[in-house]
Amino acid sequence: MSAENEKLRPRPLLIGLMGCGKSSIGRRLATRLDMPLIDLDDMIVGQAGMPIPEIFKRFGEAYFRDVESEALRQIIKRQAIIATGGGVVLREKNRQILKSHPPVIWLKASPEFLAERIAGDPNRPLIANEDALQKLTELADARYPLYAACANLVIGRDDMNKDDISTLIINYLHKETNNAQHD
């Protein structure tokens, strides 16, 4: 076990709009904390045997949300860093699960920041063939309150790079662990 994680028990669960860096920051955390990473989207793709756009196209978004909810339920208790898909907060049941398994960390990015990075990405069916900025603005309006309701820590994504965000999360986890030990 590395020195960096020897006292760490809480595992971070990352939420936020598509393109905010949940998976890539999750990978950095996994390396630095020497913990496994579970990426819900990857898990769904693996189980379905097809990419997400194809799941949406063949079975529809509601089916995808069912599978996503089931995947969340299956892995929520695992000692692993969890990177979620941006829409995981849409269902009330999922929000309850997230809230009861802290720490939940919201990587809060502006639609402008995200649109620059993911406009035209064919792997993201909700923005493919759409005006990315407009769609992301709609998603932010609808989802920011849902992310806020679940998050124990909110990190402004626009002004920080992924390494600094990873460090901030690790420091937060250390602090949480120390607080728990002194309770």
Least separation in angstroms between residue 178's CB and ligand S3P is 31
The residue among 12 and 86 lying less far from ligand S3P, judged by its C-beta, is 86
Is the distance from CB of 144 to CB of 15 less than 8 angstroms? Answer: no
What is the enclosing helix (H) or strand (E) of 21? none
The reply to whether 26 sits near ligand S3P by the rule CB under 6 A is: no
Stretch that binds ligand S3P, among 3-11, 26-34, 124-132, 171-179 (CB under 6 A): 124-132
* Torsion of the alpha carbons at 40, 42, 46 and 49, rounded to the nearest 10: 110
- Residue bearing tokens 């679940």: 150
Q: Which residue is nearest to ligand S3P (CB)?
A: 85
The contact pattern for ligand S3P, residues 83-122, with x = CB under 6 A and - = no contact, is --xxx-----------------------------------
Q: Which amino acid is at 11?
A: R
Q: Which is nearer to ligand S3P, 2 or 46 (CB)?
A: 46
44 CB-contact burial (10 Å; exposed 0-12 / middle 13-18 / buried 19+):
buried
Q: Nearest approach, Cβ of 116 to ligand S3P (angstroms)?
A: 15
- 109/97 Cα distance (integer angstroms): 23
Q: Which is nearer to ligand S3P, 86 or 111 (CB)?
A: 86
Beta-carbon count within 10 A of 50 CB: 14
Nearer to ligand S3P, 107 or 170 (CB): 107
Asked if residues 157 and 117 have their Cβ atoms less than 8 Å apart, the reply is no
CB of 97 vs ligand S3P, minimal distance in Å: 16
Cis peptide before 103 (omega within 30 of 0): yes
Q: Which is nearer to ligand S3P, 19 or 173 (CB)?
A: 19
Question: Which residues of the shown chain bind ligand S3P in the complex (CB under 6 A)?
Answer: 18, 22, 41, 52, 85-87, 124-126
